[in-house]
């Protein structure tokens, strides 16, 4: 709905419609004043709690009476739009807040008020207690993935923008917490596991070239190529399963102890076997980094996390190889 002025605010004369500045406007033929019709400024506040839930209030009057929305209201004379958002947060939800960032600015065509310009800020709660007031009959926090239907589309845009802005930080935080469990799911480096799976043959080939040339693995220079490649592919497959569900723990123990016994019987030095494992770890890491996009903070964390998980896996591998090697030497 667009409100149409009828009389001049300067002289009280009746307005007529004319094309001014390329668009129809209401003009006073008596004094020439133009009655500009602008959208009404509206301030909105978004607050998240420690559970990543968003604070909503339920409206107790029209428009959209009974529906949920962010604390929202018109800016008043003598206050900035940011101050209006702080005031609405206090009046409608009972809490004080500090502005974190501007989230969204958008237009909204209200059948009740006409054209609105809604400005939404994200706030950090600094005091008060959540309780409804002013135009609200209820105040409550809702999970971002289980929101009720919101009264204003601008509120939905602001919530989506907030979720996107926090996505990386939340992923890092969740992943760091899960990283304390050796076989946890929902780790940010899991995206790179798929890359490793797709390039297992390439990693094995690079490792094979390296291990047959390195001074620290001289016994591998004469080893059977097919046997080396098979062991590398097996190790990569076990690494993938270990990262996923941990089901490969028993396989890892059996495989690396058997490998240790075999290499001991073949006359390899333990230092050579351990060096070959470190070379395999190097090529896994290099492949993951070479196919990642390291521009965002989340990507930098992903590299660090992958490095830690590689260390955890290959520490196990080297331990079991050493145990198998010692057993093989004792039995030879």
Which residues of the chain carry a pLDDT beneath 50?
Answer: 182-185, 188, 293-295, 331-332
pTM for the whole structure: 0.57
**Domains in the chain: boundaries:** 1-37, 40-178, 190-331
CB contact at 8 A, 301 and 172: yes
How many secondary structure helices (H) and strands (E) does the chain include? 8, 10
CATH of domain 1-37: 2.20.70.10
**DSSP character at residue 62:** S
* CATH code of the domain made up of 190-331: 1.10.490.10
**Tokens coding 56:** 């909503």
- The verdict on domain 40-178 having CATH code 3.90.105.10 is no
What pLDDT does 238 receive? 83
CB 39 within 8 A of CB 118: no
Residue-wise pLDDT for 199-253, tens only, equals 889 999 999 999 999 999 999 999 999 999 999 999 888 887 777 665 567 888 8
């Amino acid at each position: 709905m667009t409100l149409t002025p009828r009389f001049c605010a300067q002289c009280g004369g009746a307005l007529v419609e004319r094309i001014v500045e390329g668009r129809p406007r209401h003009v006073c033929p008596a004094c020439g004043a133009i009655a500009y019709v602008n959208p009404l400024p509206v301030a909105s506040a978004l607050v998240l709690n420690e559970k990543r839930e968003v604070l909503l209030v339920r409206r107790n009057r029209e428009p959209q009476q009974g529906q949920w929305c962010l604390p929202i209201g018109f800016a008043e004379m003598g206050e900035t739009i940011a101050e209006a958002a702080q005031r609405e947060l206090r009046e409608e939800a009972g809490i004080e807040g500090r502005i974190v960032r501007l989230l969204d600015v958008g237009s909204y065509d209200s059948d009740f008020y006409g054209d609105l310009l809604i400005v939404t800020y994200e706030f950090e709660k600094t005091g008060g207690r959540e309780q409804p007031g002013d135009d609200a009959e209820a105040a409550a926090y809702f999970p971002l993935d289980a929101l009720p239907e919101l009264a204003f589309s601008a509120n939905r845009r602001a919530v989506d923008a907030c979720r996107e802005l926090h996505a990386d930080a939340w992923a890092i935080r969740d992943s760091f917490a899960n990283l304390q469990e050796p076989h946890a799911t929902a780790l940010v480096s899991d995206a790179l596991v798929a890359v490793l799976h797709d390039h297992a043959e390439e990693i094995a080939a690079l490792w094979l070239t390296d291990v047959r040339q390195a001074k620290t693995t001289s016994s591998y220079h004469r080893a059977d190529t097919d046997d080396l490649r098979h062991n590398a592919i097996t190790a990569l497959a076990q690494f993938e399963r270990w990262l996923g569900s941990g089901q490969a723990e028993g396989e890892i123990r059996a495989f690396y102890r058997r490998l240790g016994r075999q290499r001991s019987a073949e006359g390899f030095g333990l230092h050579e076997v351990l060096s070959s494992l470190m070379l395999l770890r190097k090529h896994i890491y290099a492949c993951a980094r070479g196919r990642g996009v390291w521009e965002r903070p989340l990507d930098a964390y992903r590299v660090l996390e992958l490095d830690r998980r590689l260390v955890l896996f290959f520490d196990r591998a080297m331990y079991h190889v050493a145990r198998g090697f010692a057993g093989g030497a004792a039995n030879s």
